[in-house]
Chains A and B, each alone.
Chain A
């Protein structure tokens, strides 16, 4: 598992982290850990407290990836990371699952990470499970309808969520209902759009629950 902040003792060096963690896992691979340290630029003599937040995240990742785990669980792995570090991490996760025998489960508020890397999504909001299933199905099941203030009446009955502006609105509709809204701009919905509009004030309860 990898959390959003380090769980290693600050006074430990990277070397001590390996000495502490390696005995936990019979499948620990020293060479793999070494390779990740080199890839991430982590010197063995550096203490955990001397590492930046991104480097601490990479250290947790190096430990998590060095014992042939079949499932990697990450809690907000990219929050607080800069764009380059986030990119690096996503590349790493994609390499990790490339052989098809491993999986990654991560929680995030950064929807661009989902767009880029996720195959399956579970969407939870307000303490309720709203959707769980393939990412592409999630995005394909909605459309964004844009129009002026006078067009809202035609869309409102079928809208799952509406965001009003002074000059018009964005409405989220199910793909099947998009055909009922003629003469207005209909665009594909991104994950961001779906989350934004299903949480807009007065959004209709989504019926997107389905089994995993």
Chain B
């Protein structure tokens, strides 16, 4: 075997172009699906967080005892929920009446339809970042936030969004929207109960010196992460992307085996 980097043949390049064209066709169809409530739906979701932050700040929210934290948290939470719904609209409208047949009619393979759906998730992640940056800009303009903290907070938000979608998408491919959300909520609740229960049991059964060692190690880890916020955020985003890649493989498997 000769040394040097392999050269992609023209046939491979042509197949890649064809694959991309297919994915973009399905992506455009998904964009039409999520725009079904109206063309301003997605722009209004993007404007929601910065709009409300501006409103709270302009209305003197920062003058509250908690610095308006509760109001900002509520708005941030609502905005995250809206962003979670945006890709779900693609699934919801696909499941409406006979619309699932459209997925079977499209001259796009199922694998590429799933790839397009995950491309939509990445697009929504980019919109989340835009939204958060706009909100942060408002807060910085009013002296409410430190510019240095923005990149890591935006990265963590994007990472959280990616992880949530990585968990949701396979459920949405497997079940109806309603059932998928029920499973998601149930899994989150069970996960919380199990982890809290395990933690409490560990606290009660572990000898105090071993427990002290564990708590110390935990504090050291947190301090290390806090001392390198940029690197920690980047690592979190990387892990989220890996989770999304695993989620994609699972979704392809589910969708390719499904009767439309």
Residues of A within 8 A of B96 (CB): 9-10
Distance A9 CA – B37 CA, assembled complex (angstroms): 11
Interface residue? B200 (CB, 8 A) = no
Q: Which residue of B lies closest to A6 (CB)?
A: B98
Q: Is B111 part of the binding interface, using a Cβ–Cβ cutoff of 8 Å?
A: no
> Is A7's CB under 8 angstroms from B101's CB?
yes
CB distance from B65 to the nearest CB of A (A): 45
- Which of A9, A16, A23, A24 is B99 in contact with, Cβ under 8 Å? A9
Q: Are B97 and A10 in contact (CB under 8 A)?
A: yes
Q: Is the interface of A mostly helix, strand, loop or mixed?
A: loop
A-B Cβ contacts below 8 A, count: 46
Q: How far is the CB of A133 from chain B (nearest CB, A)?
A: 29
Is the Cβ of B33 less than 8 Å from the Cβ of A9? yes
The yes or no answer to A1 lying at the interface (CB within 8 A) is: yes
**Looking at the complex, which one of A8, A10, A16, A23 makes contact with B102 (CB distance below 8 Å)?**
A8
Instruction: State whether A5 touches B36 (Cβ < 8 A).
Output: no
| From B25, B97, B100, B105, contact of A23 by CB (8 A) | B25
Closest to B35 in A: A16
Check B129 for interface membership: any CB of A closer than 8 A: no
Write the nearest CB–CB distance from A106 to chain B, whole angstroms. Answer: 16
B52 part of interface (Cβ distance < 8 Å): no
Check: B29 CB closer than 8 A to any chain A CB.
yes
A173 vs B116: C-alpha distance in the bound complex, in angstroms? 58
Shortest Cβ distance from B37 into A: residue: A11
Assess whether B106 is interfacial by the CB under 8 Å rule: yes
**Is B98 within 8 A of A12, CB to CB?**
no
B6-48, CB < 8 A from A? 24-25, 28-29, 32-33, 35-37
Interface size class of A (residues with CB under 8 A): 10 to 19
Assembly CA distance A3 to B98 (angstroms): 9
The residue that A11 contacts in the complex, of B28, B36, B98, with Cβ under 8 A, is B36
Whether B32 pairs with A19 at a CB distance below 8 angstroms is yes
Closest to A4 in B: B98
Query: Would A5 and B98 count as touching, CB distance under 8 A?
Result: yes
Q: Which residues of chain B are within 8 angstroms of A25 by Cβ–Cβ distance?
A: 107
Contact assessment for A7 and B107 in the assembled complex, using a CB-CB cutoff below 8 Å: no
A-B contact pairs, 22 of them (CB 8 A): A3-B98, A5-B98, A7-B97, A7-B100, A7-B101, A7-B105, A8-B99, A8-B102, A9-B93, A10-B97, A11-B36, A11-B93, A12-B32, A12-B36, A16-B32, A20-B32, A23-B24, A23-B25, A23-B28, A23-B29, A24-B107, A24-B108
Which 10 residue pairs of A and B lie closest in terms of their CB atoms, listed nearest first? A20-B32, A7-B101, A11-B36, A7-B98, A7-B102, A9-B93, A23-B28, A5-B98, A9-B36, A23-B25
Chain A interfacial positions (CB closer than 8 Å to B) = 1, 3, 5-12, 16, 19-20, 23-25
